[in-house]
A and B are shown apart, each in its own frame.
Chain A
């Protein structure tokens, strides 16, 4: 049972380069999320998708775009990477229902450095 799978695990970019972080879940969950984790700041929500075909901004969406490709996959794109985007990125999924929050399952993370 793979759960939530993120690729790549590590990435180094130069300022201005672009890249896409991939996330897939095999739990048939409707909702998926992208967070970034910085020292002393916990996890902050970048974007989320309540269902296939919908996406919404979280706390810190600037500099990012997302695509909910299908029910399984939710990708995060950095169009022009900046050093401030150096962070650990986590994807999560959950089975939401009736507007009530539910358990989120996290991937292992992508460690991104922007030089």
Chain B
């Protein structure tokens, strides 16, 4: 079946540095790519999303880039803060499942102060 791979599985950065998380997907028909943040004991919450007709989207310190030819997309967090520490999940809509989301395995981000 179609899948989404996410790297790295853990990432430690110093406060103020940038963090980059990358995902690749296998379904060339995928057209929606959200990123979710999950804090301990809580459900995932959307932080940014991008559709296939756009190559890049930015919201303050967070940006997402999409390369449809290579079938990969990335999350960029600049000027990281301790409150950015969480688990981040990427996802892609998969045509095989009626355009429902398939999630990556997650990245644990630790921001050291």
* Interface positions of A (Cβ within 8 A of B): 4, 33, 35, 40-45, 48, 50, 56, 58-59, 90, 92, 99-109
* Interface positions of B (Cβ within 8 A of A): 1, 4, 6, 9, 31-32, 34, 36, 41-46, 49, 89, 91, 93, 97-106
Partner of B106, one of A4, A42, A58: A42
Partner of B104, one of A42, A56, A105, A109: A42
Q: Are B104 and A104 in contact (CB under 8 A)?
A: no
Residues of B close to A99: CB separation below 8 A? 99
* A101-B97 CB under 8 A given contacts A42-B89, A42-B104, A43-B103: no
Q: Are B97 and A58 in contact (CB under 8 A)?
A: yes
With both chains docked as a complex, state the minimum distance between the C-beta of A111 and any C-beta of chain B, in angstroms: 9
How far is A101 from B104 in the complex, measured between Cα atoms in Å? Answer: 17
Q: Are B93 and A106 in contact (CB under 8 A)?
A: no
Which chain B residue lies CB-closest to A107?
A: B43
How far is A108 from B43 in the complex, measured between Cα atoms in Å? Answer: 4
Partner of A42, one of B93, B100, B105: B105
* A101-B99 CB under 8 A given contacts A42-B105, A59-B1: yes
How far is A87 from B49 in the complex, measured between Cα atoms in Å? Answer: 27
Q: Are B103 and A103 in contact (CB under 8 A)?
A: no
How far is A108 from B38 in the complex, measured between Cα atoms in Å? Answer: 10
Which chain A residue lies CB-closest to B106?
A: A42
Residues of B close to A109: CB separation below 8 A? 42-43
From B4, B9, B97, B100, name the one whose CB has the most chain A CB atoms within 10 angstroms.
B100
How far is A107 from B41 in the complex, measured between Cα atoms in Å? Answer: 11
Q: Are A101 and B103 in contact (CB under 8 A)?
A: no
How far is A59 from B31 in the complex, measured between Cα atoms in Å? Answer: 19
* A43-B89 CB under 8 A given contacts A58-B100, A59-B102: yes
